[in-house]
Amino acid sequence: MEIDVADIVESENGRDQGKAFFVVGTEESYVHIADGKSRKLEFPKRKKKKHVRFIKHGDCRTAEKLRSGDKVQNSEIRKALAAFAAGAGQMQGGL
């Protein structure tokens, strides 16, 4: 599956393993990810695509703003990921 901007991914390797992130940019074999807290939009983490696991296509307002290129705040990223984690926790037992 192709990972694109505004998708939610989970890090599979590194010190951020198991954390959810929004994809804020893509390259050939890399993605740029941010969670608004440890990795802010101003300095996203560059990570190989093979080291992240696709979770779902972002379907919230924040994801729409990322796709359209509108300005997004770090607080919006944090809130959207927290809402996703709360919903995933009820349905699947956690992220």
In this prediction, residues 36-42 reach a mean pLDDT of 96
**What are the beta bridge partners of residue 7?**
57
Where residue 92 falls among pLDDT bands split at 50, 70, 90? very low
Q: What is the pLDDT of residues 23-36, one digit of tens each?
A: 999 999 999 999 99
- Read off the tokens for 17: 């393993």
Do the beta carbons of residue 19 and residue 7 sit within 8 Å? no
Report the number of secondary-structure helices (H) and strands (E) in the chain. 2, 5
Where residue 15 falls among pLDDT bands split at 50, 70, 90? very high
**Side-chain half-sphere CA neighbours of 21 within 13 A:** 31
Exposure string of 24-58, with b = 16+ CB inside 10 Å and e = fewer, is: beeeeebbbbbbbeebebeebbebebeebeeeeeb
pTM: 0.88
Domain ranges of the chain: 7-90
Q: For domain 7-90, say whether CATH 1.20.120 is its number.
A: no
Where residue 89 falls among pLDDT bands split at 50, 70, 90? low
